[in-house]
Amino acid sequence: MQGDPEVIEFLNEQLTAELTAINQYFLHAKMQENFGWTKLAQYTRRESFDEMKHAEVLTDRILFLDGLPNYQRLFHVRVGQTVTEMFQADRQIEVEAIDRLRRGVEVMRAKGTSRPRTSSSRSSRTRSTTSTTWTPSWSWWKSSAKRSTSPR
């Protein structure tokens, strides 16, 4: 199926964000593990794997639309030096994703895509759910890190 070039470009932009998040989360998980924060590292590693699933869905959709998924491009990977900096960097990548997905949904609506529940709307619902649960979790870990300087 021949897809609209603007829609394919949006999907590739979102794919770039997912690939960036995979790398950022995975690096943070390894750093957290090295710091001794094993539970946090496990959580962050799962987040990285979730991003891989999002990338797979986007790749499938781009290919379905006869586009070429761009795996060569990444956005800037933000590497936190402390757990708090990691949380801030990881939260920022999610906030940017929500904004990007909202723009993408508008593009697709304007184009009148034949499939309203595209991979991006599924991703948007996932992000929306994740971000609401992520913020309290992030706040809890941040306050936990302030209460104790020893690794858990």
Is 100 within a domain? yes
CATH number at residue 129: 1.20.1260.10
**Tokens found for residue 124:** 């948007």
State the pLDDT at residue 110.
87
Rounded to an integer, the average pLDDT of 20-24 is 98
Is 50 within a domain? yes
Is 12 within a domain? yes
Split into its structural domains, the chain has a count of 1
Long-range CB contacts (within 8 A, 24+) of 122-129 = 122/57, 123/14, 123/54, 123/57, 123/58, 124/98, 126/50, 126/54, 127/94, 127/97, 127/98, 127/101, 128/98
Is 152 within a domain? no
Q: Do 24 and 90 meet the contact criterion of CB atoms below 8 Å apart? A: yes
For residue 115, what pLDDT band results from cuts at 50, 70 and 90?
Answer: low
Segments forming the whole domain that contains residue 65: 5-144
pLDDT digits (tens, 9 = 90+) for 26-84: 999 999 999 999 999 999 999 999 999 999 999 999 999 999 999 999 999 999 999 99
Is 91 within a domain? yes
Is 40 within a domain? yes
**pTM for this model (two decimals):** 0.73
State the pLDDT at residue 107.
86
Is 102 within a domain? yes
Is 18 within a domain? yes
